[in-house]
Chain A
Amino acid sequence: MNSAESFAELPVKPKPAIRRFHQARWDEPIIFELSQPGRRGIAVPEPGAPKVELPDSVRRASKPALPELSQLHVLRHYLRLSQENLGVDLNIDVGQGTCTMKYSPKVNDTFMADIADLHPEQPVESAQGVLEIYHTLERMLAEISGMARVSLQPGSGSAAIYANIAMIRAYHEANGEGHRDQVITTMFSHPSNAACAKTAGYEIITLMPDAEGLPDIEALRAAVGPRTAALMITNPEDTGIFNPRIAEFVELVHSVGGLACYDQANANGILGITRAADAGFDLGHFNLHKTFSTPHACGGPAAGACGVSEKLIPFLPGPVVDFDGSGYVLTTPEKSIGKIRPGLGVTPNIVRAYAWIMSLGAEGLRTVAETAVLNNNYLMHKILQIPGASAPWDKRRVEQVRYSWQELSEETGVHSEEIGVRAADFGVHYWTSHHPYVVPEPFTLEPTESYSKEDLDEYAAILAHVADEARRDPAFVKGAPYNSTVHKIDMTPLDDPKQWAPTWRAYVRKHLS
């Protein structure tokens, strides 16, 4: 090796401004392709008792064509797939706006072993520790929301929205007002508000944003009436703009006998700042996997918490956990909508959320909110310096911003989705918006309290770099990703019933045989 080829030179040159990321690319086959007949991943115990002979009417005729692998090979396959996935712990996860991607403390995961073998129907006197956690978390969330009581039963945010709708329906029916058949929501509230209410049989009225980017209060005035069952609204909405007239919205709905329901899936920017009850809401919900730190788990298990005012307590999903002076007991509210899932809730996440609040306290929660909002405004300050990026409506933002690449896209022909796919080449997530795209060429960023200033600088630099690439070489950006696990995917077969393959057996049947 001559000296020109030698690497033995110190100091090492500085890092480039943009990280040279490459995601794991194991080119891993589908697990069925790794199968060899006769191999096993785990042994199960012998019966130890006489075998039961089944009649033909119930016996499985042929073995299921499951893969056959040794244990190491199952493990290796899934660890490789895990490396081809990007969790919060590994990236600057500010790009999945509305999702409140924050650090889920590792210590809270260690508590999972302590509850692993508890059965939801074991005697209450044998579950006092876990019931105390339920009860205390309920009281803490009641304090944070200002609501009178909270149910921790729903399995997720949307399940909580559905539970709220079910309570709204039960409430009106109990008051002889079952004829109320309309639910009002807003375009920048999560689609599940509209979708859950529709599933429960309601007609949906969606308020569009006005010239200020806020839900149109005149449209609300025109919409409310004797058919109004409820308003289901987010605030701040997905735009990140806090609706200062929210109490008027609530009053308008109350004035016609409707209920006001607050989607607080994401309350991260307003913990200890303002509460649902203060604006007059009758019920609402939190997502414990967003604001309260439980891990998002590739899309659940999650947990939702429904909070209600006094008049809706009788309708809460049952049972709820009460303290009777000597111990924790289960009671079912008088007009309960009933049991809505197995057990009392997603206990692992109830435990994690409890531990998270207990690690922060009141002052800590306020610091969470203020820092999340500071981070958001700092990142917005950085993003708006990128030519071609904008934040429609010149308004203050709380915890997130829905931005637009409209100007960049008109100039380069590169769409927001394509910017996002190219951003993946630098090891970060990026999300556009729910549908429909009211903000053109949207992207939604939400930097929670978990990220450092340096993280935010790096994320903004990545987007600035990609925007610059879009100007210099739009075709290159459109061809991304290059450094991700796989290359550009052709999604068209996924919408064609003749071609789509929602399982391997469908793929084999349609394309390999």
Chain B
Amino acid sequence: MTHPYIPNAEPGVRARMLAEIGVDSVEEFYADIPAGLRLARPLDLPAPFTAEQDLVRHMRGLFAKNVEALSFLGHGTYPHYVPAVCDEVNTRSEFLTAYAGEPYEDHGRFQSLFEYVSQMGELLEMDVVNVPTYDGYQAAGTAIRMACRYTGRGKVLVTSAINRDKLSKLRDFLSHDTEIELAPVKDNGEFGDVEIDDSYAAIYLETPNLYGVVETRGRELAELAHAHGALLVVGTDPISLGVLAPPAAYGADIACGDIQSLGMHQSYGGGHAGYIATQDHEPLVAEFPSRLFGIAPTAVEGEYGFGDVYYDRTSFAHREEGKEWVGTAAALWGITAGVYLALMGPEGMRELGETILARTRYAMDALGSIVKHAGAIHFREFAIEVPDAAGLLAGLRERGIFGGVQLDERTVLVCVTERHSIADIDRLAAAIKEIL
């Protein structure tokens, strides 16, 4: 049988093509590969499911081994509601299967991504936003590197209220030339009191931070950084910005983060994409490695064209002389986030933010005295302190609940979004009470 995915595997066609080229066999195309490098046996792979329905049966069997539960897991990947229109748009063949065409035949991708960055710009109150990078980890790493290049300095003060995996990424990404100093966390969960000097490139703050705590001293930290010629880089989840002030409002120079919350499923970590934003300040724009899409005129009046802004920055233009590197990252999630923001609009983002704030507070109140940093403002996440974090989570699992992400032996991070009803939260609280 000719495989359904390989039209020219049909023997008659194959023979006609070989004849037209004037060779006897495909082996002749491989003649440059030395015999010693040729694999002399078939690959050792499982027997295939050639019939589509057999493949589906096999896959469904695997998926049946996964278990879902009432989940309060967050820690960087969040269970927000995904509007149906987001999936409708990002599963369109025209977007899903396209790649890197020119701004003519792929005009739709350019305009959609321009609209994504433009909506992010409104949310962030910043004029320059990149076509997405891989995820929030990479966005933070690159944002810090941008600050280092911009200032010509190699030291950064990083909040220790940061996801440990993201910190691992930062340590690897910055290792050879940038010193990471960790800033303490105060008892209330906020960024601690710090001093810096003129050797620092940046202060890196996150809000909401690891513990879901909304940082209140952004302006003070911006002033501290600026007094020493450093930048304030702020990592923030844009889903909070319907209610929380954007970093630019308190003087941040670079904003960055993950956009998974804006219309992407959790997909076992597959829904991530990263944003980086600045004001339209040419020396800082020059430090973006990512593609930036801009609007341009065409030969026809009133027609919008698009193209790459300041392409000369990139590794596509100048290989190792470009800024870091650029390549395939997570563009479709940018398009999707644009759809999400257009559906929500300003009122939707505000209402969603208020709902998350209120339900987070409701859950904290329901869990009572085990909540850490209870006095701070929280958005979507909070930490609880218990005698045995692993034991608590195991007990909750027995009750059909993923209670949160364990941060250490005594601390669990609990996530509450608009998808958690009051009844869901009550169920969690009752189960925890029962176990403790």
Contacts and interface: CB of A to CB of B under 8 A. Distances in A.
Contacts of B243: 54, 59-60
Interface stretch (A215-223, A339-347, A402-410, A461-469): A339-347
B298 A195 contact: no
A86 interface: yes
A348 B267 contact: yes
Contacts of B165: 338-339, 342
B433 interface: no
B71 A69 contact: no
B89 interface: yes
B399 interface: no
Interface residues of A, number: 208
Nearest to A103: B5
A429 B319 CA distance: 24
B6 A367 contact: yes
Contacts of A74: 85, 339, 342-343
B161 interface: no
B150 interface: no
A105 to B, nearest CB: 6
Contact of B8 (A43, A421, A453): A453
B335 interface: yes
Given A358-B58, A485-B107, A489-B297, A195 B322 contact: yes
B45 A79 contact: no
A89 B93 contact: yes
Contacts of B134: 155-156, 159, 300, 341
A226 interface: no
Interface string B85-110: 10011011111111111111111110
Contact of B298 (A349, A488, A504): A488
A275 to B, nearest CB: 6
Contacts, number: 702
Nearest to A206: B319
B295 to A, nearest CB: 5
Interface stretch (B75-83, B181-189, B194-202, B222-230): B75-83
Given A195-B315, A340-B169, A114 B60 contact: yes
A355 B327 contact: no
Contacts of B32: 241-242, 244, 395-396, 398
B241 A64 contact: yes
Nearest to A417: B102
A511 to B, nearest CB: 9
A327 B273 CA distance: 31
A273 B30 contact: yes
Contacts of B151: none
A392 B67 CA distance: 56
Given A54-B377, A296-B99, A342 B45 contact: no
B127 A502 contact: yes
A81 B37 contact: no
B268 A120 contact: yes
Given A342-B136, A494-B310, A501-B295, A358 B345 contact: no
Nearest to A497: B282
Contacts of A509: 127
Contact of A360 (B3, B22, B69, B304): B3
A450 B219 contact: no
B5 A105 contact: yes
Interface string A384-399: 0000000000011110
Contact of A481 (B71, B75, B104, B242): B104
A491 B308 CA distance: 8
B48 A341 contact: no
10 contacts: A30-B111, A57-B245, A64-B346, A136-B46, A155-B330, A192-B327, A300-B331, A337-B172, A374-B8, A481-B105
8 shortest A-B CB distances, which residue pairs? A343-B269, A361-B48, A41-B343, A85-B108, A489-B305, A129-B65, A87-B97, A158-B327
